[in-house]
Amino acid sequence: MQSDSTVAFLIICSAMVLFMTPGLAFFYGGLVRASSVVSMMMMSFGSVGLVGTLWVVYGYAMSFANASNSGFIGLDGYFGLDPAKLLLGSSYEDAVGGNGFDLVFAGFQGTFAIITVALISGAIADRARFGGWMIFAALWATFAYFPIAGWVFNFKVEDGSVVDGGFLVFNVGLMDFAGGTVVEVASGAAALAVALVVGRRFGFAKGMHAPHNVPLTLIGAAILWFGWFGFNAGSQLAADGTAALAFVNTLVAPVGALISWSLLERFTLGKPTAVGAASGAVAGLVAITPSCAYLNPVWALVLGLIVGVVCALAVELKWKLGFDDSLDVVGIHLVGGIVGTLFIGIAGEKVGWLFTGDPTQLGKQAAGVAIVGVWSFAVAWISAMLVQKTFGFRVKSTDEIAGVDRVIHGETAYSETDPRWTWRG
């Protein structure tokens, strides 16, 4: 039985992680057109209600069925369900009996599922139907996120070694402390797929869709950063030295990424931007997620400096390749998640190539990234195509031009007399 202090620690961390989703709504909301703010933010809030419900009903039972290395498919594999955990049944019984750890752990992991699905929405800003988004979110959460979480987060440890669990951790040997693959790579790969299916915005061109409210984006980034401390440190499931290391690295890496992204903008654009600084900080948070407990803080700073530049360059690819990842989910979350996950195999304590001279762990990290990325992309592509061909995923071009807020939700973020309402950039 876990101590009451551990339960209290997880309660606090869970609340912090849940707060990240409204933070994401602010972050995304500031980046879109003034006439799309409500729609953009509602996709995040819709994820809270939808994914939260699915998690309670069957998501937790799927992701955290009895740990087994039996393989990809089976009773305890891909579609494995622990009937006792449906509707959080066994967790509730434990809590009533005086052991609240499993119940609060279920809540903690549920907040991860919510934010992961919400992240994908940034790729289809300004043009997605809310109903289509909700159907897609349910499909992707069920067939991608829930099983992937089981592959990585559901495992048993004895004497410091993984002895049983999801196949990516047990069979492949992937190291991912807080979700670089489960959350970041999975959401980024899904974002790429859904952006390709839904298609480009009207008037897609560099400079045509500037953020309408930069302060809102900065507030969102600050909330995300705050919540990320609970995200990473809480993944230790105890307030100990490892949690402290994860906490500090969650401060250090984003600092480095913020600086390097801003410096790159200064040298390439002539001026550092506030949106660039916020994006850099988020890129650093993404990259440190899988590695926060495996790096010396000095290496966390190095990772931040590297990923700030890499992601700043990556977000430009959409203009060269012609896919409309509206709010840079691919460039920041997919690319940042890949860099952070691979970096464990390079500079991770006791396992990194730089310290051991052995690239084996780097290979395991690459395999984990590839498996999660391909599976998430495939599920997202199929799900988005089903929605597009049936219900419809995208609004009409005339509705997109007019602004999706009034068309979809019958309300707007600003009064129509507000100058921002007439902005169409």
Residue 261 CA to its chain's centroid (Å): 20
How many residues does the structure list for the chain?
425
Q: For residues 387 and 7, what is the distance between their CA atoms, to the nearest angstrom?
A: 40
Q: One-letter amino acid identity for 218?
A: L
Inter-residue contact 312 to 265 (CB < 8 Å): yes
pLDDT at 3: 80
Dihedral sign for Cα atoms in the order 288, 289, 290, 291: positive
The DSSP result for 404-421, as a single string, is: HIIIIIS--SS-TTSGGG
pLDDT at 415: 74
Q: For residues 303 and 291, what is the distance between their CA atoms, to the nearest angstrom?
A: 10
Task: Go through the domains of the chain in sequence order and give each one's CATH number.
Answer: 4-68+86-414 (1.10.3430.10)
pLDDT at 60: 95
CA angle at 93 for the pair 91 and 97, rounded to the nearest 5°:
115
Report the run of H or E that residue 155 belongs to, with start and end.
Answer: strand 155-158
The per-residue pLDDT string of the chain (425 residues; one tens digit each, 9 = 90 and over) reads: 578 899 999 999 999 999 999 999 999 999 999 999 999 999 999 999 999 999 999 999 999 887 554 445 434 444 567 888 999 999 999 999 999 999 999 999 999 999 999 999 999 999 999 999 999 999 999 999 999 999 999 877 666 666 667 889 988 999 999 999 999 999 999 999 999 999 998 876 665 678 999 999 999 999 999 999 999 999 999 999 999 999 999 999 999 999 999 999 999 999 999 999 999 999 999 999 999 999 999 999 999 999 999 999 999 999 899 899 999 999 999 999 999 999 999 999 999 999 999 999 999 999 999 999 999 999 999 999 999 999 999 999 888 888 899 999 999 999 765 555 454 44
Residue 125 CA to its chain's centroid (Å): 16
pLDDT at 68: 54
